[in-house]
Chain A
Amino acid sequence: GESVGLHLPTLSVQEGDNSIINCAYSNSASDYFIWYKQESGKGPQFIIDIRSNMDKRQGQRVTVLLNKTVKHLSLQIAATQPGDSAVYFCAENRPGGYQKVTFGIGTKLQVIP
């Protein structure tokens, strides 16, 4: 079946460096994508989203890139900080107002002080 997945399960980054977390999706009909951050013992927290009619969106220290040609999504975190250590999930939303979000497996980001 169609699914959302991640390339790397664990990513270790030196504090101050930039982080790039990747995600592959296979549902070409999805029109909305979201990145969530989940810290230990907490629920997922919304980071940034992007609609399928865009290829880039920037937030505070985070940028999401969408490549619909190869069905690839990435999250870039600038100047990674220890507080960024968490599991990051990409998620896709089906079109037509149907609010069903499908989550990927997750990537664990470890920031090395």
Chain B
Amino acid sequence: EAGVVQSPRYKIIEKKQPVAFWCNPISGHNTLYWYRQNLGQGPELLIRYENEEAVDDSQLPKDRFSAERLKGVDSTLKIQPAELGDSAVYLCASSPSAAGEGYNEQFFGPGTRLTVL
């Protein structure tokens, strides 16, 4: 079974440039997450989708970050314009469903390492 796919794996851009990351979750997983992971730290949630609806974007810096999951499957995360402090690994994860009680295991992709110069 294919896991969570992310592209690109690496991206180097200059500050003030735009950048986009793409994620394809595991087939059948309704819940999709975007995390940011700074060096030596744990991932921090940016946004969570239930199908095509963003149900938690409280940690997403909305002045420069945007995300979409138009058909409830693939998702893109965009930064425009990028700043030096945006350098990090951006992780996508998916899980079967977050509806109701209990916890569903999240499956992570390999991440996109972004370097802003």
Contacts and interface: CB of A to CB of B under 8 A. Distances in A.
A93 B103 CA distance: 8
Contacts of B102: 97
B2 interface: no
Interface stretch (B14-22, B69-77, B79-87, B93-101): B93-101
Contacts of A41: 110
Interface in A68-113: 89, 91, 93, 96-101, 103-106
A33 B110 CA distance: 22
A99 B98 contact: yes
Interface-centre pick from A43, A98, A100, A106 (highest chain B CB count, 10 A): A43
A104 B40 CA distance: 10
Interface residues of B, number: 27
Looking at chain B's contact residues, is the secondary structure mostly helix, strand, loop, or mixed? loop
Contacts of B109: 43
Contacts, number: 57
Nearest to A95: B101
B53 interface: no
Given A32-B103, A44-B43, A106-B41, A99 B48 contact: yes
Query: Which 7 pairs across A and B sit closest by C-beta, in order of nearness?
Result: A103-B42, A43-B108, A99-B98, A97-B101, A89-B42, A32-B103, A44-B108
Interface of A: 4, 9, 32, 34, 41-46, 49, 89, 91, 93, 96-101, 103-106
12 contacts: A9-B40, A42-B111, A43-B4, A46-B107, A49-B103, A89-B43, A97-B102, A99-B98, A99-B104, A101-B106, A103-B41, A103-B44
